Structure 1
Amino acid sequence: MRAARWSAAAALLLGVAGCGTFGDEPDGGGEKEPKKRGEASPDHPGPPSRESLEQAGKLIGDGSTADTGPQPNQPKATRLRPGEEPPQFVVFSWDGAGEDGNRLFSHFREVAKENDASMTYFLSGLYLLPESERQRYRPPGHAPGASDIGYLSDENIRATIEQLRAAWLDGSEIGTHFNGHFCGPGGVGDWSVEQWVSEITQAKWMVENWRTTTGFNDLEPLPFDYEKELVGGRAPCLEGQRNLLKAAAETGLRYDSSGSGRQVWPERSAEGVWDIPLQEVPMPGREFETLSMDYNYMYNQSGEGSGDPAMHPVWEEQMRDGLLAAFDRAYHGNRAPLIIGNHFEDWNDGIYMRAVEDVIEEVCPKDSVRCVSFRQLVDWLDAQDPAVLELLRTLDVGVSPPGGWQAFLGGIRPAAFGFSAPPGRAQAS
């Protein structure tokens, strides 16, 4: 159930634009209270302290990050068996991913754990850089320190670092929303490949050097090597993807979610990067569809400003029902992954946050559903026979396979099972 309703505090200024029910493995020793994702266990006792990491030589750079080993709570990606129905993947992702006074980052971490989901948090690198250090940021085509989003207070930077650390230990992904959030003329849509490479490099630097820029020597390091952890992102305002894909390939990113598309199975770009866009989904009561993001529902309901409070319940229901309709037509149709994007915001009194929370609670516990991060999704895609994926891409939106899954994929040879649970967790039926 929802742990809280949203306050009217100012939201993070952001621009336009998993779900397996992994339970505890029964051990024959009687019933045990279920363990939440991210809690310490014999399999995953939690990362070592900064002191022990330093002694072991595991700290990276200035100690802002550390190599603590494999990420906990990761499902193993294996190939579908011949004729096997694909899991229904759902990706919930968050643009900006900072912890401010609304405490939505920490709230949705708890929602994810309660529903055994992994998510992707697209961090804006500037959210780890104090405003007093803004000159360290050299945005392409803009003056040093310039940004179209606000810098966070020291208190909120500290809280964001703590949430990033906990989210990774939960099993979720830390991606990137890049840095200065420049949209429109002169913004990311006009950037060259070289400018995108600079922005990606700086996004990494801000994560890898927050101890130097903030002076927060009392915080534990982020428990991952961001050079390895960062495998994808989403561009501000969904602009500039053409050159971003080239920069992504050049910098080793594996996927991009900056495009807009339909509810069909994704494919690689010409550069070899998985192109996994936001999707056109139903807008109940309207004759058109909208992108699967909170901003786009809001824009079609009240523009960029606050709308009539009397309409808030109607609009909340419209987004919830639209996303559930999108889920249903995939779940009972082509099983294409459903991609949902959001911001930690309180637009129209938080109705979009309530709507997406309802969707998480409704879909993630269902059989054959896996609420996963983008990284987990591309791990699964990479594990499949390309012939299987090519066949899946022939299914249009909401179209189930002719003759059923057994007939549709029965002639394919892959030998292993679909998407298994992390060690120590039971596979959903």
Structure 2
Amino acid sequence: MRTVSRRGALGLGAGAAAAAGLAGCGTLMPSDASSHAAGSKNSPAPVRPLGDGSTSFTGKQPHQPTKPVPLEPGQAPPQFVVFSWDGAAEVGNGLFTRFLDLAKQYDAHMTFFLSGLYLLPESKKRLYDPPNNLRGASDIGYLTDEHIRATLKNVRRAWLDGHEIGTHFNGHFCAGTGTVGNWTPQQWRSEIEQAKSFVKEWRTNTGWTDLPALPFDYDKELVGGRTPCLLGQDNLLPTARELGWRYDASSPGGKQIWPEKRQGLWDLPLQAVPFPGHSFEVLSMDYNMLANQSINSTNAPSYNYPAWRTQAAESYIAGFRRAYETNRAPFFIGNHFEQWNGGIYMDAVEKALAYVAREKEKGEDVRLVSFRQFVDWLDVQKPEVLAQLRTLDVGQQPVGGWKSFLKSTATTSSSAA
């Protein structure tokens, strides 16, 4: 069984009182080829198996938003909300399927950070050579064959539903001399190449021929990730930039402000959000709620669950409302497919998702997107507009309203021209 100590580690809180600012931390079948038509009414793109047939090129990913455009002068920015998942495996608790179903129900897109080891059978574990650790070692468990099959099925469905497949790397080492916090840029490159190979070669490693290929080219699909326990970002970034990644979601203790780039990549951190009943804030991840409520216990007395479930849900909702009603900074939530404390954090995430979806249905510009879709939007905005947005602090409303606040950037741009 995977324990919480393997999924979370110390991160930055919102202050000294934050008390545990922690983080978790073949070919395509005909039915799938006909399920999407490369974004048009024309015939589907021809399916092209890649490598050993574990993955395949199937054309443009279906169910994507319309092409992003720059904000008009004086236009309010959308409220972006990203739900993301670390590990992204089906381990028999049905949570992967549950949230794929909810995403479809609420017309939401999400990011699934797949751990490469979750597609590698334990019998082949010596194929994994983790930096500064013994060959085959891992601080998360290898999956059973049944769960690897289920994970493949759900990852495949996720992409076809329009979600992003990122990476959570492999062995999740968060302590001791082998921690990812000590890895060099060269060691991160080894870890990434291995994570990609386990996705691109699952058919060779399992010997299975009865499952369809993953419907994407992972070399092109993979443009970002989140490190185990939010450690090691500084040495990861040079390698990520060389590999053409576009963002990284590993920063701990971020604030609800508009992001900027670090070493050429968009830096999209977990954020400190209000924690009802406390004077300190908590990082926007299920593990952090757990750590602050039950001191890392994953099975606290059940009489606590109703209050804790409500508190966690209200924390996510408070983070959303604070951004939505003020600076419109994007809101990032991190999760794990875990039943910690009776599954209350999954219930809280579902409640928050439903709340945000209702706000979206009211006609306001609320967008439930993946990280990749969000950076697509960022990349077409005028630099001066993003710079102006970054002047707004946490909970700060634009002076004079959005029409006035962002109209000045158009004047500045015109003058510069």
**Which band: TM-score by shorter chain?**
0.7 to 0.9
What secondary structure does 2:282 align onto? strand
Post-superposition CA distance 1:240-284 (Å, at most 9, x none): 111011121122211111112100000000x10111000001110
Question: Does the 8 Å contact 2:2/2:140 carry over to 1?
Answer: no
Number of the residue aligned with 1:205: 197
User: Structure 1 CA distance, aligned partners of 2:121 and 2:40?
Assistant: 33
Residues 1:374 and 1:47: Cα distance change in structure 2 (over 3 Å): farther
Identify the match of residue 67 of structure 1 among 44, 57, 64. Answer: 57
User: Structure 2 CA distance, aligned partners of 1:12 and 1:218?
Assistant: 32
Number of the residue aligned with 2:347: 354
**Which of the pair has the greater relative contact order for Cα pairs under 8 Å at 6+ separation?**
1
Q: Deviation of residue 12 (structure 1)?
A: 8.0
Question: Does the 8 Å contact 1:11/1:100 carry over to 2?
Answer: no
Residues 1:218 and 1:276: Cα distance change in structure 2 (over 3 Å): same
Post-superposition CA distance 1:172-206 (Å, at most 9, x none): 00000000000022210000010001101111111
Number of the residue aligned with 1:386: 383
Question: Does the 8 Å contact 2:116/2:167 carry over to 1?
Answer: yes
Q: Deviation of residue 120 (structure 1)?
A: 0.3
Number of the residue aligned with 1:236: 228
User: Structure 2 CA distance, aligned partners of 1:266 and 1:72?
Assistant: 27
Residues 1:182 and 2:163 are matched in the alignment:
no
- Name the aligned partner's letter for residue 282 of structure 1: P
- Name the aligned partner's letter for residue 350 of structure 2: E
What secondary structure does 1:147 align onto? coil
Give the 4+ runs in structure 1 shifted more than 4 A. Answer: 10-14, 41-49
Residues 1:89 and 1:239: Cα distance change in structure 2 (over 3 Å): same
Q: Deviation of residue 15 (structure 1)?
A: 0.7
Alignment map for 1:76-91 (pairs within 5 Å): 76-91=67-82
Question: Does the 8 Å contact 2:36/2:44 carry over to 1?
Answer: no
TM-score (normalizing by structure 1): 0.85
What secondary structure does 1:364 align onto? helix
Question: Does the 8 Å contact 1:66/1:222 carry over to 2?
Answer: yes
User: Structure 1 CA distance, aligned partners of 2:218 and 2:41?
Assistant: 21
Residues 1:80 and 1:39: Cα distance change in structure 2 (over 3 Å): farther
Question: Does the 8 Å contact 1:11/1:345 carry over to 2?
Answer: no
Number of the residue aligned with 1:117: 108
Number of the residue aligned with 2:316: 323
- Name the aligned partner's letter for residue 319 of structure 1: A
TM-score (normalizing by structure 2): 0.87
Number of the residue aligned with 1:427: none
What secondary structure does 2:158 align onto? helix
Number of the residue aligned with 1:407: 404
Number of the residue aligned with 1:418: none
- Name the aligned partner's letter for residue 359 of structure 1: A
Question: Does the 8 Å contact 1:130/1:213 carry over to 2?
Answer: yes
Number of the residue aligned with 2:271: 279
Identify the match of residue 141 of structure 2 among 140, 150, 153. Answer: 150
User: Structure 2 CA distance, aligned partners of 1:263 and 1:398?
Assistant: 8
Question: Does the 8 Å contact 2:36/2:62 carry over to 1?
Answer: no
Question: Does the 8 Å contact 2:273/2:316 carry over to 1?
Answer: yes
Q: Deviation of residue 364 (structure 1)?
A: 2.1
User: Structure 2 CA distance, aligned partners of 1:126 and 1:214?
Assistant: 12
What secondary structure does 2:272 align onto? strand
Q: Deviation of residue 398 (structure 1)?
A: 1.1
Number of the residue aligned with 2:26: none
Number of the residue aligned with 2:371: 374
- Name the aligned partner's letter for residue 169 of structure 2: F
What secondary structure does 2:313 align onto? helix
Question: Does the 8 Å contact 1:12/1:98 carry over to 2?
Answer: no
Identify the match of residue 340 of structure 1 among 327, 333, 339. Answer: 333
Residues 1:136 and 1:93: Cα distance change in structure 2 (over 3 Å): same
Question: Does the 8 Å contact 1:333/1:398 carry over to 2?
Answer: yes
Post-superposition CA distance 1:3-27 (Å, at most 9, x none): xxxxxxx67875115xxxxxxxxxx
Q: Deviation of residue 47 (structure 1)?
A: 10
Q: Deviation of residue 130 (structure 1)?
A: 0.2
Q: Deviation of residue 65 (structure 1)?
A: 0.6
Post-superposition CA distance 1:321-356 (Å, at most 9, x none): 111111111000000000000000000000000000
User: Structure 2 CA distance, aligned partners of 1:88 and 1:39?
Assistant: 33
Residues 1:40 and 1:81: Cα distance change in structure 2 (over 3 Å): same
Alignment map for 1:98-117 (pairs within 5 Å): 98-117=89-108
Q: Deviation of residue 45 (structure 1)?
A: 8.4
User: Structure 1 CA distance, aligned partners of 2:43 and 2:121?
Assistant: 26
Identity %: 57
Question: Does the 8 Å contact 2:388/2:409 carry over to 1?
Answer: no
Question: Does the 8 Å contact 1:146/1:180 carry over to 2?
Answer: yes
Q: Deviation of residue 298 (structure 1)?
A: 0.3
Q: Which stretches in structure 2 are left out of the alignment for 5+ residues?
A: 10-32, 412-417
User: Structure 2 CA distance, aligned partners of 1:165 and 1:80?
Assistant: 34
Question: Does the 8 Å contact 1:72/1:170 carry over to 2?
Answer: yes
- Name the aligned partner's letter for residue 74 of structure 1: Q
